């Protein structure tokens, strides 16, 4: 019985200690990315907006959580499309237990068209700017 109590106290102490020591550091580089397509507009999905995406990895390096943050007051089509687009991304196991931040800026420029035409630019170490033509209805 004393051993069980000692294990419980030790576990509680270690949990508290590790909680104080390990503040989550968010990486702002793409060193963890092995393969990730930048979500681009298609015939149905063309959005304007800015999104901050936090991708967290488990102890084995596998993607465990994708959080999409935008200026929108509620989670909508843009956020759902972006979240779904990133589910097939592959990341390095060396990033186990870490979180990375990737930013996406979507803009419309130029004349409208039925088929999306887009340009992707890397703005800095973790920000992509995706510029596409307007949908025909918004031209």
97 found inside a domain: yes
The pTM (predicted TM-score) of the whole model is 0.75
Q: Which residue has the higher pLDDT, 130 or 117?
A: 130
What's the pLDDT at 4?
A: 39
88 found inside a domain: yes
**Per-residue b or e along 7-45, where b marks 16 or more CB atoms closer than 10 Å to that residue's CB:** eeeeeeeeeeeeeeeeeeeebeeeebbeebeebbbeeeb
> Under a CB-based contact definition with an 8 Å cutoff, are residues 91 and 32 in contact?
yes
Range of the domain at 93: 23-138
14 found inside a domain: no
103 found inside a domain: yes
Lowest average pLDDT, out of 9-18, 60-69, 79-88, 107-116, goes to 9-18
pLDDT digits (tens, 9 = 90+) for 62-87: 788 999 999 876 678 888 999 999 99
Q: Extract the tokens encoding 73.
A: 């007051």
The domain total for the chain is: 1
10 found inside a domain: no
């Amino acid at each position: 019985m004393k051993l069980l109590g000692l294990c419980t106290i030790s576990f509680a102490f270690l949990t508290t200690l590790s909680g104080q020591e390990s503040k989550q550091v968010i990486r702002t580089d793409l060193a963890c990315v092995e393969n990730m397509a930048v979500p681009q507009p298609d015939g149905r999905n063309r959005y304007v907006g800015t999104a901050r995406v936090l991708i967290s990895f488990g102890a084995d390096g596998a993607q465990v959580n994708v959080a999409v943050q935008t200026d929108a007051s509620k989670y909508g089509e843009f956020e759902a499309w972006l979240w779904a687009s990133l589910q097939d991304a592959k990341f390095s196991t060396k990033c186990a237990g870490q979180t990375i931040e990737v930013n996406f800026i979507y803009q419309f420029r130029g004349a409208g068209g039925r088929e999306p035409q887009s340009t992707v630019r890397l703005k800095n170490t973790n920000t992509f700017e995706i510029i596409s033509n307007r949908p025909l209805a918004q031209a």
